[in-house]
A and B are shown apart, each in its own frame.
Chain A
Amino acid sequence: MKYTDEYRDPATAQRLISEILAQAAVPRRSNRVQGSASGIRIMEFCGGHTHAIMRYGLRQVLAPRVVMTSGPGCPVCVTADADIDYCIALAHLPGVMVATFGDMIRVPGTRSSLQEARAAGASVHIVYSALDALELARKEPQRAVVMLGIGFETTAPTVAASLVQARDEGIGNYTVYCMHKLTPPAMRGILDSGEVRVDAILGPGHVTAITGWRAWEFLPQEYGIPCAVSGFEPLDMLQAVRVLVQAVVQGNPHVANAYPRGVTAEGNRVAQELMEQVFQVSPALWRGLGEIPASGLSLRPEYAAYDARLAFSVPAELLDLKPSEMHRGCHCSEVLRGMMEPPECPLFRRVCTPAQPIGPCMVSAEGACAAHYRYGETLS
């Protein structure tokens, strides 16, 4: 496939790895980071990167000089229990059809998942695109279709587009339960907490296709941390890691665009304008990170008629749930913050597996636990 295969050449990958490892052995000029023996720590924000890095075995070849750590960049994984509970409650309302991206369906809420709710008779439909949900609304005018708006800046404009289209066409039975989240505030949240040491950030390629790479300039400017925006092929990621290691060693934090075929400085203006037209920035609840101010999107008052939160009233008893015992042993919160590696969780592989997942990081294909499970890395 064009723009894919040519970024997988093994000889070039090997060369990049040798260069990275040689660079990482150079003593660092910056004294911000103590203890170079523990390696340069790079957090890959995006779950797509976590998956690709594990798939190509890059973690193992880079460690211990360069240590890759997963961040909170899996929208499904960071969706709060309370939001899942709300979605389940919506799906149980008479006349309501919940439409969702497939990733979301097995994610556990406080007591159950949308999949379990569907088995119990709730109306839950998997869609590939927000436009498919809109099509459902056109086809079933007597039902109320609620699209679950999850995802970061990559996905939010597509849901915004569906809302603009619904309004233009006067479709009255289409609403969105908005859980969209913004990535820079989450990155700030992690860095501000001081819980993990991060020397550099591998920037999310497709989020940044929308936001533009300038959105990450606060990392070097305010935190002194370099960021390299990366694509998802092995050479893309290695090239980005190479730039990051160089920046750390030379004490020269900056934002590098290692994915220039898909990402520009300013991003996708059309998508940004659509988001601004439909959404406003609001506080959001992140699983693992808690509530982060100005880190989410909600519908603007002009789109109130399309807001599922306002359109339906959900019985309180469906939302006031107590977590099960099993749930409390789950360490997804720590995994999402980069504080714990999946194999360190006592449930990992013993109780929690992709077939019987306990936490969201095992449910989602992009979750760090699922990636560790699938690609068989053991704790070193």
Chain B
Amino acid sequence: MCLAVPLCVKRIEGVMAEVELSGVLRQVSLMLTPEAKVGDYVLVHTGFAISVIDEQEAQVTLALLKELEEAGRQAEEDSARTDRGPGA
């Protein structure tokens, strides 16, 4: 029920915007997110944009996840090397 999908704002006319979903254009209301601009991604729920996606925060989260993944892989490689012992 509280499903919302991130969609890109293509055009704005008054309080309505055109967003793109897999190549199909749809009309959504910007009544709840008047700050949305063309090019922004908005979370769309029942025909309304309820939140403008914060691109910077999205990048920070992705960087954090990447860091985590790399740190984990590094730790695994280190322990594999230790397990094998010297000269193995």
A residues sitting closer than 8 Å to B (CB atoms) are: 1-4, 6-7, 9, 11-12, 15-16, 18-19, 46-48, 73-76, 101, 103, 128-132, 150-152, 154-155, 157-158, 161, 165, 204-207, 209-210, 232, 235, 239, 260-264, 268, 270-271, 274, 364, 366
A155 & B47 in contact (Cβ 8 Å cutoff): no
CA of A232 to CA of B5, assembled, Å: 10
Q: How far is the CB of B69 from chain A (nearest CB, A)?
A: 4
**Which B residues are in CB contact (< 8 Å) with A73?**
2
A206 & B69 in contact (Cβ 8 Å cutoff): no
CA of A2 to CA of B58, assembled, Å: 11
Annotate B29-67 by CB proximity to A: 1 below 8 A, 0 otherwise: 101111000000101011110110111011011101110
Q: How far is the CB of A246 from chain B (nearest CB, A)?
A: 13
Q: Which 10 A-B pairs have the closest CB atoms?
A: A129-B47, A261-B58, A260-B57, A3-B6, A15-B72, A154-B2, A209-B51, A206-B2, A12-B69, A158-B48
B46 & A155 in contact (Cβ 8 Å cutoff): yes
Q: A15-B72, A46-B2 are in contact. Are A235 and B54 (CB under 8 A)?
A: no
CA of A48 to CA of B65, assembled, Å: 22
CA of A19 to CA of B68, assembled, Å: 9
B48 & A129 in contact (Cβ 8 Å cutoff): yes
B residues sitting closer than 8 Å to A (CB atoms) are: 1-4, 6, 8, 22, 29, 31-34, 41, 43, 45-48, 50-51, 53-55, 57-58, 60-62, 64-66, 68-69, 72-73
**Which A residues are in CB contact (< 8 Å) with B43?**
206, 209, 262
A152 & B57 in contact (Cβ 8 Å cutoff): no
Q: How far is the CB of B53 from chain A (nearest CB, A)?
A: 5
Interface contacts beyond A152-B1, A270-B34: sample of 4 additional A-B pairs, CB < 8 Å, sorted by A: A155-B2, A239-B61, A260-B61, A262-B43
B6 & A131 in contact (Cβ 8 Å cutoff): no
Closest B residue by C-beta to A204: B2
CA of A19 to CA of B65, assembled, Å: 12
A210 & B50 in contact (Cβ 8 Å cutoff): yes
**Which B residues are in CB contact (< 8 Å) with A16?**
65, 68
**Which A residues are in CB contact (< 8 Å) with B32?**
157-158, 161, 268, 270-271, 274
A263 & B1 in contact (Cβ 8 Å cutoff): no
CA of A9 to CA of B45, assembled, Å: 25
A101 & B1 in contact (Cβ 8 Å cutoff): yes
B6 & A2 in contact (Cβ 8 Å cutoff): yes
CB within 8 A of A75: which of B1, B31, B45, B69?
B1
Closest B residue by C-beta to A270: B32
A157 & B2 in contact (Cβ 8 Å cutoff): no
**Which B residues are in CB contact (< 8 Å) with A260?**
54, 57, 60-61
CA of A260 to CA of B65, assembled, Å: 13
A19 & B72 in contact (Cβ 8 Å cutoff): yes
Q: How far is the CB of A295 from chain B (nearest CB, A)?
A: 16
A152 & B2 in contact (Cβ 8 Å cutoff): yes
**Which A residues are in CB contact (< 8 Å) with B8?**
2
CB within 8 A of B4: which of A2, A9, A152, A154?
A154
A239 & B65 in contact (Cβ 8 Å cutoff): yes
Show 10 A/B contacts (Cβ-Cβ < 8 Å), sorted by A: A1-B22, A4-B6, A47-B2, A129-B48, A130-B47, A132-B47, A151-B46, A157-B50, A262-B51, A268-B32
Q: How far is the CB of B3 from chain A (nearest CB, A)?
A: 6
B2 & A48 in contact (Cβ 8 Å cutoff): yes
Closest A residue by C-beta to B29: A131
B45 & A11 in contact (Cβ 8 Å cutoff): no
Closest A residue by C-beta to B43: A262
B58 & A235 in contact (Cβ 8 Å cutoff): no
Closest A residue by C-beta to B54: A261
CB within 8 A of A3: which of B41, B48, B50?
B41
**Which B residues are in CB contact (< 8 Å) with A48?**
1-3
**Which B residues are in CB contact (< 8 Å) with A19?**
68, 72
Closest A residue by C-beta to B71: A15
